[in-house]
A and B are shown apart, each in its own frame.
Chain A
Amino acid sequence: MGIRRTLLGSAVAVAGMAGVAGYAMAAEVTVVCGSVGQGAKLCKGAATEWAKETGNTVKFFAAPASSTEQLALYQQILSSGSSDIDVFQIDVIWPGILGSHLADLKPYSNGAEDMHFQPIVANNTYKGKLVAMPWYTDAGLLFYRKDLLEKHGEKAPETWGDLTASAKKIQDAERAAGNNKMWGFVYQAKAYEGLTCDALEWVDSFGGGDVVNADGDITINNEKAAKALSLAASWTGTIAPSGVLSYQEEDARGVFQSGNAVFMRNWPYAWSLGQADDSPIKGKIGVMALPKGGEDGKQTGTLGGWQLAVSKYSKDPEAAASLVMHLTSKKSQKQRAIEGSYNPTIAELYSDADVLAASPFMGQLKDTFTNAVARPSRATGSNYNKVSNAFYNAVHDVLSGKTEAEASLAKLEKNLKRIKRKGW
């Protein structure tokens, strides 16, 4: 920041505090951005900057690290109509759940949403209102051990079939060589939201759709989906440890980063940790989009990421929206991309020289984000969690060998119809 801007900023701040200038009355905005850690630090910096520029004040609310706890807390606060928190950080699947309590940001955005990835903007539109601005994004990726693939003469897998074969081959060879802790593939298969993400990728890559389509029709009970899940079920206990059925992101990373897995499905965050100085696999990691289902399948990844939203009950929605616009602006997103490797939601930034210099890896991700598949949160609205719960439990049953894929999907379809009986 240049000296001039700092000076200007503080001048405005002084004016705002004194309440002399023709500015609107200084407002106090309470914002949730991150828990305790790196992300929160970056957010605080940017929000404080906004406060200085506008003469308002910001208060920070530290949210629980677990997103389920966050959602529960927000629902409690919002459903009571409290104005304690003005700006919320919300997960990509929450606009439908919290939408009725959030303010429309269109009047304040001046069209800023047009430069963001459009699928995310569409995701954040609830009943015609823009209820949240995209903040940063995420998508599932395939991490692999470059060195092991090379050593055993395998190339990066094109399809899930290739992955299954390479994983098996390398796992067996490595075990024969004495590394009996080696596994082929680790992912997230505990019965929780993460399994919905993983399973959606398998199903979608086979062309089996996205559980509930954009029109709200239940599409999951199809052959391709069954094929995808049957393949995934064959991994449990063969190329993946049977413990994978209780793995979340960190469990998978723990195994992969200790050098005990050839492939891993995870979010981009695992990259920088795997490349840290104390990591045994530093410099040996490759990253790519997830494999296709088959020859006619497609590469895909489940869309993740966070948005910023303004509470409908905020006492000063204008100031709150202005803060949201500031935090999601190109400038703030660029800073977050450079200092914290948060993936921007603004397409332009993926060709920005400064961003690419700081994390060369980000350039590759743009395609993944544009091809990403969204969970059916928009079509199912406030029923999304029920749908997701039914889906991951059905998948978990298949993976643990309790039911066959076809039977499980038929039962799932019936369950989803029950949930839909009064409409989504």
Chain B
Amino acid sequence: MTLALQQDGTATRKAKRSNLSSARLRAAWLFLAPMMIALAAVAGWPLLRTIWLGFTDANLTDLSQSQFIGFENYLSYYDGEAYGVLVDAEWWNAVWNTLWFSVISVGFETLFGLLIALILNAEFKGRGLVRAAVLIPWAIPTIVSAKMWGWMLHDQFGVINEILLGVGILSEPIAWTADPSTAMWAVIMVDVWKTTPFMALLTLAALQMLPGDIYEAARVDGINPIRVFFKVTLPLIRPAIIVAVIFRSLDALRVFDLIYVLTSSSTSTMSMSVYARQQLVDFQEVGYGSAAATLLFIVIALLTTITVLAGGLKSGEGEQS
């Protein structure tokens, strides 16, 4: 009797619970619907179209004449020679350039971003102004800031050489963007300057959302602040930093304007996006360029998956069933 009652009780509770969770599930899909509809309606078609065009010989001269050609844009043989994106040395050069650029610049940005976020998180006078000042590089349109740096890095009338010469660091002006050995570093430097604020701001938001009592406890216990940072703060803000790194990497792997303005389509700095654009727009090869864009997509998707897995972004944390 009691047993039966008990069982009955669990059952109703279970039923109630599953009612509740199915209600929550319904709410979840309802909440997700606007986003999914928006993405599918606006982004879906252009993305699928690009993938499809990668399998055609579409050309801007006459788009209506395009025909399905299978994987020919990726790899094909003609007169005993291999053609296609996959065997194009320039494409692989662009892939390496991009990877190198992304790893180095995102690395620096994460480091500097964290440092600046810690500064901005501290209490000091004029903090608001410093915050605004730090965000300025991110606020200037890239097409302008890239040109601006091109001007400032100029070997003859650029202010950077002028300053370095004046201080005595350099004995003669350096042609930063012309020399293949410095060109990529110049591009990286400008990118770090421009996008560190993005990292800093996201990291700062993560720091601000940390519960204050953790620090209180640590302070009372007299633990070394550096230890607190590595043992407490960093693990807590790690998910936010990883998400910031992912989005920075997505942008870095697709870098275009900066390289295009500073060094044009020179092979020593050509990125995957510059390559894709050259094919799509400058060369009118919509089919081939779309194939390159699709490959770019695959490269990025692989790298992102690796980052997400390696970063241990568990989807399990803090969830409710």
A interface residue numbers (CB < 8 A to B): 68, 71-72, 75, 79-80, 97, 100, 181, 183, 190-192, 241-247, 251, 254-255, 258, 260, 382-383, 385-386, 389, 393, 396, 400, 402, 418, 421
B168-206 toward A: CB 8 Å interface, digit per residue (1/0)? 000001010111100100000000000000000000000
A79 in complex: contacting residue of B63, B180, B266, CB < 8 Å: B63
In the complex, what's the smallest C-beta–C-beta distance from B154 to chain A, in angstroms? 7
Among B156, B179, B263, residue most surrounded by chain A Cβ atoms (within 10 Å): B156
A-B contact pairs, 6 of them (CB 8 A): A79-B63, A241-B173, A246-B175, A246-B264, A247-B178, A389-B282
Is the pair B175, A245 in contact by a Cβ cutoff of 8 Å?
yes
Chain A residues closer than 8 Å to B83, beta-carbon distance = 418, 421
Is the pair B79, A421 in contact by a Cβ cutoff of 8 Å?
yes
Is the pair A190, B266 in contact by a Cβ cutoff of 8 Å?
yes
CB under 8 Å from chain A, chain B span 58-77:
59-63
Is the pair A68, B282 in contact by a Cβ cutoff of 8 Å?
yes
In the complex, what's the smallest C-beta–C-beta distance from B258 to chain A, in angstroms? 14
CB under 8 Å from chain A, chain B span 260-289:
263-267, 278, 281-284
Chain B residues closer than 8 Å to A71, beta-carbon distance = 281-282
Is the pair B156, A242 in contact by a Cβ cutoff of 8 Å?
no
Chain A residues closer than 8 Å to B175, beta-carbon distance = 241-246
Is the pair A72, B281 in contact by a Cβ cutoff of 8 Å?
yes
Chain B residues closer than 8 Å to A80, beta-carbon distance = 63
Asked if B78 lies at the interface with its beta carbon under 8 angstroms from chain A, I say yes
User: What is the predominant secondary structure among interface residues of chain B facing chain A?
Assistant: loop
Is the pair B180, A190 in contact by a Cβ cutoff of 8 Å?
no
In the complex, what's the smallest C-beta–C-beta distance from B39 to chain A, in angstroms? 23
Chain B residues closer than 8 Å to A400, beta-carbon distance = 178-180
Chain A residues closer than 8 Å to B155, beta-carbon distance = 241-243
Q: Which 8 pairs show the lowest CB-CB distances between chains A and B? A: A243-B175, A243-B155, A245-B178, A246-B178, A191-B266, A192-B264, A246-B177, A72-B281
Chain A residues closer than 8 Å to B263, beta-carbon distance = 190-191, 246
Considering the complex, give the chain A residue whose CB is closest to the CB of B157: A254
In the complex where A79-B60, A245-B179, A246-B177 touch, is A190 in contact with B264 (Cβ < 8 A)? Answer: yes
Is the pair A192, B178 in contact by a Cβ cutoff of 8 Å?
no
Inter-chain CA distance A80–B78, complex, in Å, is: 31
Inter-chain CA distance A400–B177, complex, in Å, is: 12
B interface residue numbers (CB < 8 A to A): 59-63, 78-79, 81, 83, 150, 154-157, 173, 175, 177-180, 183, 263-267, 278, 281-284
Chain A residues closer than 8 Å to B157, beta-carbon distance = 254-255, 258
In the complex, what's the smallest C-beta–C-beta distance from A127 to chain B, in angstroms? 12
Given contacts A243-B177, A382-B61, A400-B179, could you give 20 more A-B pairs where the C-beta distance is less than 8 Å?
A: A71-B282, A80-B63, A97-B61, A97-B284, A191-B263, A191-B265, A192-B265, A241-B175, A243-B175, A245-B175, A245-B179, A246-B177, A254-B154, A254-B156, A258-B156, A383-B283, A385-B284, A393-B265, A418-B81, A421-B79
Chain B residues closer than 8 Å to A383, beta-carbon distance = 283
Chain B residues closer than 8 Å to A75, beta-carbon distance = 60, 281, 284
Inter-chain CA distance A244–B180, complex, in Å, is: 13
Chain A residues closer than 8 Å to B281, beta-carbon distance = 71-72, 75
Among B79, B157, B284, residue most surrounded by chain A Cβ atoms (within 10 Å): B284
Chain A residues closer than 8 Å to B265, beta-carbon distance = 191-192, 389, 393
In the complex, what's the smallest C-beta–C-beta distance from B2 to chain A, in angstroms? 77
B154 in complex: contacting residue of A242, A243, A386, CB < 8 Å: A243
Is the pair B156, A385 in contact by a Cβ cutoff of 8 Å?
no
Is the pair A389, B284 in contact by a Cβ cutoff of 8 Å?
no
B180 in complex: contacting residue of A247, A382, A402, A421, CB < 8 Å: A402
Chain B residues closer than 8 Å to A255, beta-carbon distance = 156-157
In the complex where A191-B266, A243-B178 touch, is A385 in contact with B282 (Cβ < 8 A)? Answer: yes
In the complex, what's the smallest C-beta–C-beta distance from A396 to chain B, in angstroms? 6
Chain B residues closer than 8 Å to A393, beta-carbon distance = 265-267
In the complex, what's the smallest C-beta–C-beta distance from A70 to chain B, in angstroms? 11
In the complex, what's the smallest C-beta–C-beta distance from B122 to chain A, in angstroms? 41
Among A80, A260, A385, residue most surrounded by chain B Cβ atoms (within 10 Å): A385
Is the pair B61, A100 in contact by a Cβ cutoff of 8 Å?
yes
Is the pair A242, B180 in contact by a Cβ cutoff of 8 Å?
no
In the complex where A254-B157, A255-B157 touch, is A421 in contact with B78 (Cβ < 8 A)? Answer: yes
Is the pair B154, A251 in contact by a Cβ cutoff of 8 Å?
yes
Considering the complex, give the chain A residue whose CB is closest to the CB of B183: A246
